[in-house]
Amino acid sequence: MNRVLKPNDLELIRSVKEMGNIPKHIAIIMDGNGRWAKKRKLPRARGHQKGIVTVREIVEACVNLGVGYLTLYTFSTENWKRPKNEVSTLMRLIVKSLRNETDELNANNIKLTTIGNIEVLHDLVKRELNDAFEKTKNNDKMILNLALSYSGRQDITEAVKKIVGDVSTGKLKAENIDEDLISKTLMTGNIPDPDLLIRSGGEMRISNFLLWQVAYSELYVCEDFWPDFNTANLVDAVKSYQMRERRYGLVSEQIMNNAHQENDVQTPNKKVYQI
């Protein structure tokens, strides 16, 4: 998928792939569209429009990297509080992007999924989403997961409600509730937790995004606003990830010993993590 990537981008990707240990799941908080526009004395909508171009490049870069899952924080529940004209602009841009990109996603074997309360979205947005889901449902090269009208706290709240309901009806015993069950009940229950969480725009916060799921994700903050974020930034984030030792509460010596034994780590709750 090289519709946007330039030869030097592909060379950067090739060099980082040679290092191995590519994150299986990358999640991105795409921050800074409005600040990018303000800095240039442009309407905020121009920042969102430019941000879509960045999305296209980063999706292609992740496919070329061999990333299995890419989750993009596209629209949070808090974003509904923004000025109505900005929300309307964002919804129109989502519709336009789905119309323009779904066939390309399908041609490149990318499956589109979402997390969040999409029922509150405009009917036109839901219709375009459903069309995209149907067209790409059998694809398996990469999952592009859009967080739309998403809240990490609400995600956990709904999972708790579901579990409580199952206990009250006798479908589940309280003593069988564990971290694995909670993880599977979340909106991301059918995909692995992010290995790497990237935030553009320089802000040092999670912003109610995948609060449970990023417990052991490696964090990378980029100062560039999202419209300026590019393949080189993504490669820098992956390089940073590759240099880190993921200990999951253990010490380095334990990681080394377990790597020699079976190349994985057994945590106290019996969940196995690959290193």
At 112, is the secondary structure helix, strand, or coil? strand
Catalytic pick among 9, 33, 64, 79: 79
User: Which pLDDT score, from 0 to 100, does residue 256 have?
Assistant: 65
Query: Is the pTM for the entire model greater than 0.85?
Result: yes
- Hey, which bits of 9-134 come out as E strands? 25-29, 69-76, 110-115
Instruction: Specify whether 31 is catalytic.
Output: yes
Question: What does pLDDT average to over the chain?
Answer: 92
Closest CA to 114 of 85, 159, 155, 56: 155
Architecture of domain 7-244: 3-Layer(aba) Sandwich (3.40)
Tokens of 122: 């405009």
Tens digits of residue pLDDT in 123-179: 999 999 999 999 999 999 999 999 999 999 999 999 999 999 999 999 999 999 999
Domain boundaries defined on the chain = 7-244, 251-275
Give 47's contacts (C-beta < 8 A, 6+ positions apart): 32, 33, 34, 35, 36, 37, 38, 225, 227
| Separation of first and last alpha carbons in the chain | 28
Catalytic pick among 9, 21, 31, 108: 31
The mean pLDDT of 210-238, rounded to a whole number, is: 98
Instruction: Specify whether 228 is catalytic.
Output: no
